[in-house]
């Protein structure tokens, strides 16, 4: 299944049905009076966050969503049928933006959350509604209210607890594959990850979700490489895991490059808690480890951990550090039955 996180849709709610002008006509009833019914209400357009989706690919093949119009009123005081609503089923974490792609209309962050995007038009009044003591035979009715037509953008931001950051080939996909059942593409060339991947990681009988996004390079905020389009998928994360390739000769510069791109992206992303890790230390001797660890601590301005995703060295310690930065209400705890097959 292809990954799609931004799409454009066209919606239109249904118009209300017109009111009816009618008079009661029955044998032996000389003055039956008005009996025209009201028109039905037009259908509305809703968006609902549903389970089992992690892409907007369905909206690649259908972009137009039009709700049904309400039926006109009829004689014998019959009201027209209401138009059927239409529901856009989207993944949890979908933002709905106005046509300018800046104004956020709603943010569907919880399963089952619904929001009305376009309200159906009201049905018009029939002539029965206008009957009064001074106007006992009205010959007027109201037309139905027109529907609302809008152009909207859907933008998916994956719901994850930890976001992986780093230059291409920093070992992000290897870490995700080593700690979860996710199977992202892994190769010895840059930009093997072309779309975000999610994995459920466990440590100390708790689980949390990790998101791996394509690697950033210097100038990503200006559109270089794959740009910073995928950084939105880590905006909701509680903590960021910044992986740095330990085999690189410029670990300090690599660290500053990612931090600079986070600051250029704006928002609160650069202020989020960040765990910096020197990765691929299995390829370094003790002297090289100490030297590059010192450079990295100076560049990042904080503590730096060491890890090897391939060899498994230091992975558990990194997971425990990440877990400490995640609120308990975001964690999933293992049940007693699940603990029997638990493998940290």
Provide the annotated binding site for Mg(2+): 173, 193
Going by the annotation, the residues of the binding site for GTP are 166-173, 191-195, 212-215, 279-282, 308-310
Could you list the residues known to form a binding site, using ranges: 166-173, 191-195, 212-215, 279-282, 308-310
d(CA 161, CA 101): 26
């Amino acid at each position: 299944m292809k990954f799609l996180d931004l799409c454009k849709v066209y919606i239109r709610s249904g118009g209300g049905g017109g009111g009816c002008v009618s008079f009661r006509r029955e044998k032996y009833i000389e003055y039956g009076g008005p009996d025209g019914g009201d028109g039905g209400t037009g259908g509305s357009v809703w968006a609902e966050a549903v389970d089992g989706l992690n892409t907007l690919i369905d909206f690649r093949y259908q972009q137009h969503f039009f709700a049904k119009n309400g039926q006109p009123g009829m004689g014998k005081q019959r009201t027209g049928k209401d138009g059927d609503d239409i529901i856009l089923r989207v993944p949890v974490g979908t933002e709905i933006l106005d046509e300018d792609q800046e104004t956020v209309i709603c943010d569907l962050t919880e399963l089952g959350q619904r929001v009305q995007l376009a309200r159906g038009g009201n049905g018009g009044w029939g002539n029965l509604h206008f009957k009064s003591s001074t106007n006992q035979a009205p010959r007027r009715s109201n037309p139905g209210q027109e529907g609302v037509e809008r152009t909207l953008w859907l933008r998916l931001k994956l719901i994850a607890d930890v976001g992986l950051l780093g230059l291409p080939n920093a070992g992000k996909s290897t870490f995700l594959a080593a700690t979860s059942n996710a199977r992202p593409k892994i190769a010895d060339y840059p930009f093997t990850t072309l779309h975000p991947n999610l994995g459920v990681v466990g440590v100390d009988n708790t689980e949390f979700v990790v998101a791996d996004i394509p690697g950033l390079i210097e100038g990503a905020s200006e559109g270089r490489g794959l740009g910073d389009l995928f950084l939105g998928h880590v905006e909701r994360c509680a903590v960021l895991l910044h992986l740095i390739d330990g085999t690189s000769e410029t670990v300090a510069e690599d660290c500053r490059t990612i931090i600079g791109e986070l600051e250029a992206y704006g928002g609160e992303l650069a202020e989020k808690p960040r765990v910096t890790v020197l990765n691929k230390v299995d390829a370094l001797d003790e002297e090289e480890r100490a030297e590059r660890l010192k450079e990295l601590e100076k560049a990042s301005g904080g503590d730096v951990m060491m890890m090897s995703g391939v060899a498994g060295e230091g992975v558990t310690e990194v997971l425990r550090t990440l877990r400490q930065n995640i609120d308990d209400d975001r964690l999933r705890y293992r049940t007693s039955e699940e603990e029997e097959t638990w493998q940290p």
